[in-house]
Amino acid sequence: MAYEPLAISAEAMGYQRDWTRSLRSRIENGAKFAFVNADTPHEIFHAMDMPMVVNQWWSSVIAAKQLSTYTLDRGAAMGFHDSLAKYSAMGVISALDGDPDKQPWGGLPDPAILCARQSSDDQQRLFQMYADKAGTRLALLHSPAAAENLNDWWVRARDDWEALYGTARLDLMQAQITDLIADVEEITGRRFDHEGFGAYMEQIEKQELIFEEASRMIAAAERMPVRIGEQIPNVMIPQWHRGSDWAVGHAERFRDAVGERIAAGRAVVDDERVRMMWIGAGLWFDTKFYTAFEEEFGAVFAWSMYLPFAADGYVRRSKGDYLRALAARVVTMNEQLHQAPWANAWLVKQARDYRIDLAVVLVPEADRPSGYATNFITEDLREAGVEVVEIHADMVDARKWNGARAKADVIDGIRRVRGAT
């Protein structure tokens, strides 16, 4: 039986389309907006109703408009060498280029504020260039490292985050969030509502716990009920709008739709033989890759980080101090996905929970922070009995994507798994 998408997937896409139109309209009508990285405290902008364009989401829009090759070639023409990161840079290069015919929406007006965490070494350079070009204020958040990355972070981070992340780091992040609030208050002319913010944070936690239920249901299902190509928009669109009534409601609808599928015994492939996990950011320019092994091999991608990370990466119980809980959510956000032993230990746990046979690891060599810890990850997965295939490619740079080669490597991996059973 052919795979049938969830009806709610179209709803999510429709919601995002309407929101995008509304955002574009607000911006074109002069609304002050923020341009921010994905790992910054979006909650502040949401809470103060300040429109926000997320850098990495904007990169995906550029890619979807088939403008990534043009944009990256323009970056090369500007003099940026090819080893520099692409995912966080494409939106900045597009803005520096400034050609309205070669940017989504004819280009963004100048943002009122830019916000980035210095989680990787290049963020201050990238965002400074944008700030100079736009004449815009820049909120750079320091990103000091933990004294030591302690496990089991996904357990301790929910309640014991003060000890896990360290009081000094949390004090610093909380102070920076307070400064950011002052910036946004000044830009918008509105006051930050601390009481309302608490209620909003509770809504976010509710949403993430619903996603956790959905993740557990999928992991436990006899066969995969939903493709990861559908999981990702059903998680990430609500995550961009986290804490809103729509987002919480959609998380519930997604969980329920997954439950119905499992109860009905429906699966991505009837004859599921190999379960795979995709480690790394989405392969935005070739999402069909995720389904390419279903029919011939009964091999289905069951896991991507986006769904399980919703709970593990976001649930930080407030204990009455919502700004500090937000600091705990942000202070180490994406590092947990890429640094040893946080990443390797979490991925092994996820592989076990989802009964994974084969892990496909995206290794973006021109994005060092995303590529580091690869060898720890592969070794630990293999020790846990999971076969591993590495694909050396970039999540947004289609110029270097060798789809045939990647497919052949995954097929070899599937054959190794099947040979072992």
Partner 1 sequence: MRTGVFGFGAPYGVFASIGLVPVDVTLHPTQRPTAADRYIEPFMDPFAASVLRGMVAGEFDDLDAIIFLRDSPGAMIACQYAFELARRGVTPADAPAPIMLNILPADHAAADRFNRAELDRLTETLGRLGWVAERGAEGHAGAFDFLVQAQSAGEVSGENAFDTRAGVAAGRTVMAAPYAGQGPRFALLGAPLGNGVLHAALDTLGTLAIDQQALDQAHAARGTGLPDALRAQAANPFAARQPKPLYLPAVADILSEHRIDRVVWQVDAHDDLWGWLMPQVRALCADLGVGFTDLGFLPRWPEPHDIVIGEGV
Q: Which among 273, 293, 267 has a CA at the least distance from the CA of 2?
A: 267
| Helices 194-220 and 228-240: angle between axes, nearest 10 degrees | 170
By CB under 8 A, name the one of 31, 140, 187, 411 that touches partner 1.
140
**Would you say how long the chain is, in residues?**
421
Query: What is d(CA 101, CA 48) in angstroms, rounded to the nearest whole number?
Result: 32
Query: What is d(CA 130, CA 127) in angstroms, rounded to the nearest whole number?
Result: 5
| Helices 228-240 and 7-28: angle between axes, nearest 10 degrees | 40
Query: What is d(CA 259, CA 220) in angstroms, rounded to the nearest whole number?
Result: 11
SS3 of 332-366: the string is CCHHHHCCCCHHHHHHHHHHHHCCCCEEEEEECCC
By CB under 8 A, name the one of 37, 55, 94, 176 that touches partner 1.
176
- Interaction between residue 175 and partner 1 (CB under 8 A): yes
By CB under 8 A, name the one of 215, 339, 346, 351 that touches partner 1.
339
For partner 1, the closer of residues 144 and 196 by Cβ is 144
**Tokens representing residue 387 in the block:** 């076969």
3-state secondary structure of 111: coil
- Is the Cα dihedral 56, 59, 63, 65 positive or negative? positive
Query: What residues numbered 288-317 form the site for partner 1, per CB under 8 A?
Result: none
- Least Å distance, CB 173 to partner 1, is 9
Q: Which among 382, 203, 228 has a CA at the least distance from the CA of 305?
A: 228
- Interaction between residue 384 and partner 1 (CB under 8 A): no
- Least Å distance, CB 394 to partner 1, is 12
- Interaction between residue 217 and partner 1 (CB under 8 A): no
For partner 1, the closer of residues 166 and 238 by Cβ is 166
- Least Å distance, CB 129 to partner 1, is 7
- Interaction between residue 372 and partner 1 (CB under 8 A): yes
Give exposure, 5-24, as e/b (b: 16+ Cβ within 10 Å): ebebbebbeebbeeeeeebb
307 and 218 in contact (C-beta within 8 Å)? yes
- Interaction between residue 172 and partner 1 (CB under 8 A): yes
For partner 1, the closer of residues 163 and 263 by Cβ is 163
- Interaction between residue 147 and partner 1 (CB under 8 A): yes
- Interaction between residue 341 and partner 1 (CB under 8 A): yes
Candidates 53-61, 146-154, 269-277, 322-330: pick the segment binding partner 1 (CB under 8 A).
Answer: 146-154
Alpha-carbon distances, residue 382 vs 7, 337, 412 (angstroms):
37, 18, 16
- Interaction between residue 60 and partner 1 (CB under 8 A): no
- Interaction between residue 169 and partner 1 (CB under 8 A): yes
By CB under 8 A, name the one of 2, 29, 83, 100 that touches partner 1.
83
- Interaction between residue 122 and partner 1 (CB under 8 A): yes
- Least Å distance, CB 1 to partner 1, is 42
Alpha-carbon distances, residue 184 vs 91, 111, 113, 171, 174 (angstroms):
22, 12, 8, 20, 15
- Least Å distance, CB 139 to partner 1, is 10
End-to-end CA distance of the chain: 25
For partner 1, the closer of residues 210 and 366 by Cβ is 366
Query: What is d(CA 140, CA 113) in angstroms, rounded to the nearest whole number?
Result: 10
Candidates 27-35, 293-301, 371-379, 403-411: pick the segment binding partner 1 (CB under 8 A).
Answer: 371-379
- Interaction between residue 340 and partner 1 (CB under 8 A): yes
For partner 1, the closer of residues 78 and 263 by Cβ is 78
For partner 1, the closer of residues 146 and 217 by Cβ is 146
Residues in touch with partner 1 (CB under 8 A): 78-81, 83-85, 118, 120-122, 124-126, 128-129, 131-132, 140, 142, 144-149, 167-169, 171-172, 175-176, 179, 339-341, 363, 365-368, 371-372, 374-376, 379
